[in-house]
Amino acid sequence: MNIKEILDQESDQKRFMLGNEAAVRGVLESGVSLAATYPGTPSSEIGDILFNIAKDANIYFEFSSNEKVAIEVAAAAACSGLRTFSFMKHVGVNVAADSLMTAAYMGVEGSMLILVADDPSTFSSQNEQDTRHFARQANIPLFEPSNPQEIKDYIQYAYEISDKFDIPVIIRTTTRVSHMRAVVETGEYNKNTKTHGEYENIGLHVPVPEIARKMHEELVGKIAEIRKVSNTSPLNQIIDNDANVGIITSGGAYNYVADIVNKYDLNVNILKLGFTHPYPEDLVREFLENNKEVLVVEEVDPIHEIETQAIAGKYHINTNIHGKRDGTLPEIFEYTPDIIINAFENLGLFEVLKREANTPTLIPLPNRPATLCAGCPHRASFYAARQAIDSLNLDVESIHPSDIGCYTLGIAPPYNMANFLMSMGASVGASCGFSKATENQPIISFIGDSTFFHAGIPPLINAVHNKMKFTLVILDNRITAMTGGQTNPGIPIDGMGDEAPAISIEDLVKSIGIEFVETINPLNVNEMIQIYKDALEYDGVSVIIAKYPCNLINKTEIRSRNYIIQVDQDECIHCNKCIDKLACPSITLVDDKISIDQTCIKCGVCIDVCPVSAIKKEEVNQ
């Protein structure tokens, strides 16, 4: 679908939309004035679309420096009477949580929605955490759509709840729901006209203890009233088939249940939950009383299951409740239709379901480990670091805290340049810890430019103040690459696509008192190796800024390279250094012959790596 079609103002149109595209349409139809995010898969496409349409939609949009800032921007604007939108991936809520918890206390004068995309099975994340815990901890209403149409519709419903109760709300999607495509029927959309509000200090938005206690009391009262709404909400519905076996499910998990129930024509009742916090106690109680056996199907944690069991205990209902806690369903990873079938069969509630056997292929599939792109500047940085470390001939292991981004792939051999990772910015904080806890073990840590702005600056200040010793490599590839190429504060473009001041990483690093700061094009491998050696000898915090654009944004320059890189087979000594040490995917070894294939982007790093100059540039006649 053409992105601009999302701006189509005709209602009752049917579009084939990605879940994240439907989210943008829901935001437009809801009259949002301001949106803020830090990009994170599986929610990234929302920001990419808003970046392209914000001006046409008359919406202010920004890529904030991190999720906490995004929440603060949206909350302040909502307290000024605007309708605002913030979105992120599940681990982004960890960063935002400090302000998110207080935002619930303070409430909003306008309205505020936070969309959080969870990642069951950790396809692009470091954990499987469940955002529904945060909603309960913060006392924020939560909604769980199961398809793109529901994403769009739930967004409008969620804003109505936010308006009515002056409270932020959360929509929780998952990877499959965010990236599902389906037909979406659009509603009425009128271009936003409210670009500014007015802040009035009616609510005393300063939660000092005396005020915070009152805020908490009011919040608890709001949730009690909202619970009444969730019990009768059209987002929660019972599909009654006059059976005595029931399934309680929500979000993406509902799709697997519906597929199996429909495919095998199973006689079950289904309670489909869309408004899941506050949990609809009365509705669940009614469902339990009408079913002898109930299976709770949800991703990721057994949150609905625990609440359902609590309701059964509170009202002395003897229904047998199954789910993750009794082992009927797995506690980890996303679900599949087979997992749901196994659960049904293990409970013995139905006859064995006849499944079509999958015929295994006779052709063994090769392993496809994730790898850096051909010509990625990070590869050169890792290669140079490994050469510098190996040249020291140490008796101890080097330490390499890494961070969240493409460069996490430095964990793989032959680089082995990532052996400790926690969260955004933790490469720097962890380096501080290793600096104090170890002795004689060299520390080279890595962080990307966007991640540095996100969470790397405070721990670097800590390192200087507390006199640490390590080398930090800031991999400045001029973009937020892993999530698709979004801007960050180091780029001279803002979230509206306008020219903006680019923050100099070098000036910023020097301003906090770091004296060893070197900026280099990492493709100059031999020079890079020497800088690593100098940095490792420096007694203090040393910073290397490896600055070269990601291939995704450097295509024009790449296409202008009017040469090819080839291996002179007569001069090649088959040392295999380009294969074993550099490991560029464009260089292959077949029948004892090293060759460079058409995926090569002609970065030239392999020319420096070859010890006998057998790899050469060859000009191409134009």
* Known binding-site positions: 572, 575, 578, 584, 600, 603, 606, 610
Q: What angle do CA 416, 370, 340 make, to 5 degrees?
A: 125
Task: Kindly report whether the peptide bond that precedes residue 209 is cis, defined as omega within 30 degrees of 0.
Answer: no
Give the CA diameter of the chain.
84
CA–CA dist 342, 498 (Å, integer): 53
3-state secondary structure at position 603: coil
CA–CA dist 130, 135 (Å, integer): 10
- Other Cβ atoms less than 10 A from the Cβ of 301: the count is 16
Q: What angle do CA 216, 221, 222 make, to 5 degrees?
A: 95
Q: How many CA atoms lie within 13 A of 37 on its CB side?
A: 33
Whole-angstrom CA distances from 612 to 26, 549, 567, 587, 606 are 60, 29, 11, 16, 11
CA–CA dist 383, 378 (Å, integer): 8
Q: How many CA atoms lie within 13 A of 306 on its CB side?
A: 7
* Cβ proximity of 98 and 132 under 8 Å: no
Residue-by-residue DSSP string for 195-206:
------TTS---
Whole-angstrom CA distances from 356 to 157, 257, 259, 362, 367 are 40, 18, 15, 18, 26
User: Euclidean distance between the first and final Cα of the chain, in Å?
Assistant: 37
Annotated binding site for [4Fe-4S] cluster: 572, 575, 578, 584, 600, 603, 606, 610
> Environment class of residue 12 by beta-carbon count within 10 Å: exposed (0-12), middle (13-18) or buried (19+)?
exposed
